[in-house]
């Protein structure tokens, strides 16, 4: 099926780091680039849903990093008033992901999105709620105020992966870990879901990781993420300050905080961050069969 370059009024319901902070109408024009460039390669799958008359009513795109078995839904564009096609549309892309041995597919929606119940019919289930925080980048002072001369600031390397995974386990409820990552290999795959230029740092004491933080550069600005034990939260705040100061060229700083991590929320508020919006993260496991209904007048085609 051939597509002509033109405007399509299809709202994008998927929220990835590349478009967080933008309205759905601002992120939706990306569909023009998809329709104008046909692709279905190993690390990206797109599906278009049309009526028998050829009218496009939906598009879904999922991507994965090279050689990864974790996928991320980056576009879920739907014609207003035809949201009922969501399960069918998602099922089509999940079928393609299954052929490429994908294990988990993640999707982030705005809280109270009308698609919330519909994505469950495609086999997705909610992992957790998150809040997006934002602040203007200001000069905060970049020194790390270590509580001990034994505390060292290091760039994260492969040898620190176990420490970062340990901090993830210590700060994440079991119910969430069951959905995201239970092994270090799964955790490292989950980290790779976020593309971009990332700078990771870790504070250690006697070779033990106390706090970890990273700054990921996206189209909208710098995204902060991090973890530490409760006792080391002041160190994490210092580490965030250090990363922000090193990235003065980025005028806006974001961070996505899960609902269960109230301590990390307090750290951000202490640095002047303000809540911008609430989101829900969903995951589909390859071991779950989708409960899909199919209508005779819907057609699904690869793009």
Per-residue pLDDT reduced to its tens digit, 212-225: 999 988 777 889 99
Total domains present in the chain: 2
Query: Residue 107 belongs to a domain with what CATH number?
Result: 3.40.630.30
Please give the residue that has the higher pLDDT: either 55 or 13.
Answer: 13
Statement to judge: residues 154 and 263 lie in one domain? yes
Does residue 89 form part of some domain?
Answer: yes
* pLDDT at residue 82 in the model: 84
Statement to judge: residues 253 and 140 lie in one domain? yes
The yes-or-no verdict on residue 296 having pLDDT over 50 is: no
CA 170 to chain centre: 21
Statement to judge: residues 161 and 224 lie in one domain? yes
Statement to judge: residues 170 and 270 lie in one domain? yes
Cα end-to-end distance, the chain, whole Å? 9
Q: Residues 240-277: pLDDT tens digits?
A: 999 998 888 888 899 999 999 999 999 999 999 999 99
* Of the candidate ranges 26-35, 190-199, 236-245, the one whose mean pLDDT is the lowest: 26-35
Does residue 102 form part of some domain?
Answer: yes
In terms of Cα–Cα distance, which of 258, 257, 229 is closest to 170?
229
- Report, as an integer, the average pLDDT of 60-67: 89
Statement to judge: residues 74 and 137 lie in one domain? no
In terms of Cα–Cα distance, which of 41, 90, 47 is closest to 66?
41
Greatest pairwise CA separation for the chain in angstroms = 71
Does residue 3 form part of some domain?
Answer: no
In terms of Cα–Cα distance, which of 7, 99, 6 is closest to 47?
99
Statement to judge: residues 29 and 70 lie in one domain? yes
Statement to judge: residues 91 and 222 lie in one domain? no
Check residue 41 and report its DSSP letter. B
- Bridge partner list, 227: 212
* pLDDT at residue 18 in the model: 64
Statement to judge: residues 89 and 176 lie in one domain? no
Percent of the chain with pLDDT strictly greater than 90: 55
Does residue 77 form part of some domain?
Answer: yes
The yes-or-no verdict on residue 141 having pLDDT over 70 is: no
Statement to judge: residues 275 and 293 lie in one domain? no
CA–CA separation, 106 and 90 (whole Å): 11
Does residue 22 form part of some domain?
Answer: yes
Statement to judge: residues 53 and 150 lie in one domain? no
CA–CA separation, 223 and 252 (whole Å): 9
Q: Where are the beta strands (DSSP E) in 20-82?
A: 44-51, 56-63, 70-79
Does residue 2 form part of some domain?
Answer: no
Statement to judge: residues 236 and 216 lie in one domain? yes
- The two tokens of residue 278 are 């609430």
Does residue 199 form part of some domain?
Answer: yes
CA–CA separation, 43 and 96 (whole Å): 11
The yes-or-no verdict on residue 192 having pLDDT over 60 is: yes
Contact status, residue 102 vs residue 72, Cβ threshold 8 Å: no
- Report, as an integer, the average pLDDT of 59-88: 90
Statement to judge: residues 267 and 233 lie in one domain? yes
Does residue 128 form part of some domain?
Answer: no
Instruction: Print the domain residue range for 172.
Output: 133-279
User: Token match 């008033």: residue?
Assistant: 81
| Cα-trace Rg, the chain | 20
């Amino acid at each position: 099926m051939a597509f002509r370059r033109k405007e399509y009024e299809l709202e994008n319901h998927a929220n990835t780091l590349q478009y967080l902070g933008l309205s759905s109408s601002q992120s939706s024009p990306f569909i023009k680039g998809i329709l104008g460039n046909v692709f279905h390669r190993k690390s990206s799958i797109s599906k278009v849903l049309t009526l028998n008359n050829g009218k496009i009513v939906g598009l879904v795109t999922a991507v994965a990093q090279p050689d990864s078995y974790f996928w991320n839904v980056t576009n879920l564009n739907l014609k207003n008033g035809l949201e009922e096609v969501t399960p069918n549309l998602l099922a089509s892309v999940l079928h393609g992901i299954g052929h490429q041995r994908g294990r988990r597919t993640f999707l982030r929606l705005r809280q109270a999105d009308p698609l919330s119940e519909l994505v469950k019919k495609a086999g997705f289930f909610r992992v957790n709620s998150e809040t997006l925080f934002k602040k203007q980048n200001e000069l905060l002072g970049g020194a790390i105020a270590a509580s001990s001369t034994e505390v060292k600031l290091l760039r994260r390397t492969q040898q620190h992966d176990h420490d970062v995974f340990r901090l993830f386990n210590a700060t994440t409820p079991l119910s969430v870990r069951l959905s995201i990552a239970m092994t270090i290999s799964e955790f490292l795959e989950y980290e790779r879901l976020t593309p971009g230029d990332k700078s990771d740092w870790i504070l250690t004491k006697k070779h033990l990781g106390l706090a970890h933080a990273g700054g990921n550069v996206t189209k909208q600005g710098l995204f902060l993420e991090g973890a530490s034990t409760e006792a080391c939260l002041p160190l994490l705040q210092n580490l965030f300050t250090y990363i922000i100061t090193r990235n003065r060229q980025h005028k806006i700083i974001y961070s996505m905080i899960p609902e269960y991590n109230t301590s990390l929320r307090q750290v951000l508020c202490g640095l002047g961050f303000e809540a911008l919006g609430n989101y829900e993260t969903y995951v589909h496991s390859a071991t779950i069969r989708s409960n899909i209904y199919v209508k005779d007048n819907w057609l699904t085609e690869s793009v």
